[in-house]
Structure 1
Amino acid sequence: MKWNLRLAAAQRGIWKASELQRMLAERGLNISAGKMSGLWSGHPASIKLDDLDVICAVLGCEVADVLIPEPDKVTRPAAEQMPQQAAAGATIMVAPRRRDGRSLPPA
């Protein structure tokens, strides 16, 4: 996903992060200067869905205006490549693994 807050704000005449921060605070969303900097610069560490709702309400936009999908950046899992090997007659052995990282008892 590409974060597009700055462009979405600019399209609505908001050119400064501090202006958007003030508008968000008027709607009850108080964002620290550090978090606002991350949101404005295009590299937010995280964002709550409730906060995203307030941002969209203040900007009068949809989530799709702020978040742009980038499906080409997603790598294909190895499982999608394995059927080609299986079709060639190779036998695939699957060993169970525990999710907590511990080893299984000996067989």
Structure 2
Amino acid sequence: MKWNLRWVAARQDIWRPSDLKTAFEAVGFTPSLSKVCALWSARPVTVRLDDLDMICAALKCTVADLMEAEPLAGGESGEQEGQQAVGQDPGAGSGGRPVPKQSGGKGAVRRLPPN
């Protein structure tokens, strides 16, 4: 994800973290100045959804303005090579009932549990 907080803030003529904090306080969002500076200077690892709503309200923007998806490194289609979704094994059956295995030494068929 690309974090575009500074770009969105610049559209609102906000150029410093202290000005951003003032805009946040105008909508009732009161983070510490250190938290505002962390949001301003780097891409956050996590953002609470409530905080994201307040940031969008203060900057009159949408979540799509603040965050932009970036392609994953190493793959054009966004899929990691060698990873598959559960149940996507090419040798798997049609997804019907499982077939009982032969038991180890006696050759008897294992029974499925009742429905």
Specify the TM-score bucket, using the shorter chain as the normaliser.
0.5 to 0.7
Matched residues, percent identical? Answer: 43
> Structure 2 unaligned runs (5+)?
92-115
Quote the offset at 1:37 in angstroms: 1.4
Quote the offset at 1:75 in angstroms: 5.2
Deviating 4+ runs (over 4 angstroms): none
TM-score (norm 1): 0.66
**Kept after mapping to 2: 8 A contact 1:5/1:42:** no
Per the alignment, residue 62 of structure 2 pairs with: 62
Question: Which moves more between the two structures, 64-73 or 17-26?
Answer: 64-73
Mapped partners of 1:4, 1:42: distance in 2: 10
Per the alignment, residue 97 of structure 1 pairs with: none
As a proportion of its length, which structure holds more helix? 1
Select which of 84, 95, 103 maps to 1:79.
Answer: 84
**Kept after mapping to 1: 8 A contact 2:56/2:63:** yes
> Structure 1 unaligned runs (5+)?
87-107
TM-score (norm 2): 0.62
Mapped partners of 2:45, 2:72: distance in 1: 21
Which has the larger Rg? 2
Q: Which one has more relative contact order, counting CA pairs under 8 Å at least 6 apart? A: 1
In structure 2, the CA distance between the partners of 1:29 and 1:70, relative to structure 1 (3 Å rule), is same
Per the alignment, residue 40 of structure 1 pairs with: 40
Q: Match of 1:79, as an amino acid? A: Q
RMSD of aligned Cα (Å): 2.3
